[in-house]
Structure 1
Amino acid sequence: MDLFTAWFNHFISYVYPSETNPVLLILDGQNTHTRNLNVILKAEKNYVTILSLPPHSSHKVQPLDKTVMEALKTFYNEEIRVFLRTNQRAVSLFDVGKLFGQAYVKVQSAERAIKGFATTGLYATSRSIFSNEDFLETAHQDENVAPATYSQPTILHQSLR
């Protein structure tokens, strides 16, 4: 929780939310995010609305994770493998940009991004992407807390502005 609080303080100092420029921060359902009273209170004071996605569902609502980022990891790992085989030396900090760029060129396409939205059911909307079981918390990080069911994202804080 301390690490997330430090991150949130850094976030506030760079984003500059205000009454005339409020910020929406969307987070996964991690306990350090959803049960961090210091962050929730600071968000309220600093015009930040925190929206928490249902636990264990972020993989279903992040379209680029499903198609672009997964492929990018695969292509980047392949670029590194080829580099290591060809150069017979470790990848240095100076090689990363070139290798990442080569992988990115292979991945980036409108078709792949569009497929990500279709795969997650975000566009065109598909109500069958999620089952009722998807909204049940499958792993309890805090065994003292009873399992919860979720039917929609939880808004942790919403200021009256």
Structure 2
Amino acid sequence: MTATEFLTYMDHFIKFSKPTTEEPVLPLLDNHSSHVDINVVEKAKANSIIMLSFPPHCTHMLQPLDVGVNGPFKAYCAKAQDNWLRNNPGKTMSIYEIPGIVKTAWPLAATPTNIINSFKNTGICPHNPDIFTSDDFAPSFVTDRPFLEVFVLDCVSSFFF
């Protein structure tokens, strides 16, 4: 997506969400460059749209579609692809089979229940500020150790063993 394309989408979004100063609209976005383009931000501000961007590297926990729809969609796509391959032995799957796979997988993944649970599991609706613990954002063991300690231990173990 480019900033120009997203600006066109914003026109569509404004037309159908009908934001006003009394009832502004809050879209939840990732930090894609098209979302933070100055023309997009100015259009949003002029039309009572308050844009909220998720912090980088957190969309897998905070973005509703990533949490509850995209995962099942990928799984259903994989299953539909496996079924196609079993039903078409010896044939090579091409780009022309993709729409049929998506047609099968999308309705199974984008269910009202999955979508509602996506917002619930991210703590967006109903609002739950305690949905995540500090452990959810803790560094991994590898990055939690000081560099010098890791370097020295690796050198010592290489020398003696």
TM-score by shorter chain over 0.5 = yes
Aligned partner of 1:127 in structure 2 is 134
RMSD: 3.8
Higher relative contact order, chain-length normalized (CA < 8 Å, sep 6+): 1
Identity %: 26
Q: Deviations over 1:74-120 (max 9, x none)?
A: 232212321342256864856753x2278549x9988xx58x938xx
Aligned partner of 1:100 in structure 2 is 105
Q: Residues 108 and 49 (structure 1 numbering): CA distance in 2 closer, same or farther, change over 3 Å?
A: closer
Whether the 8 Å CA contact 1:27–1:33 is kept in 2: the answer is: yes
Equivalent pairs counted in the alignment come to: 125
Q: Shift of residue 41 of structure 1? A: 1.4
Aligned partner of 1:9 in structure 2 is 11
Q: Residues 54 and 76 (structure 1 numbering): CA distance in 2 closer, same or farther, change over 3 Å?
A: same
Q: Shift of residue 66 of structure 1? A: 4.0
What is the rounded CA distance, in whole Å, between the counterparts of 2:39 and 2:28 in structure 1?
Answer: 17
What is the rounded CA distance, in whole Å, between the counterparts of 1:108 and 1:51 in structure 2?
Answer: 24
Aligned partner of 1:117 in structure 2 is 121
Aligned partner of 2:25 in structure 1 is 23
Q: 2:35 aligns with which of 29, 33, 48?
A: 33
Whether the 8 Å CA contact 1:29–1:52 is kept in 2: the answer is: yes
Whether the 8 Å CA contact 2:77–2:101 is kept in 1: the answer is: no
Unaligned runs of 5+ in 2: 123-127, 141-161
- Give the strand-richer structure, 1 or 2: 1
Runs of 4+ in 1 over 3 A off after TM superposition: 87-97, 101-105, 107-110, 121-125
Whether the 8 Å CA contact 1:29–1:56 is kept in 2: the answer is: no
- TM normalised by structure 2 equals 0.57
- TM normalised by structure 1 equals 0.57
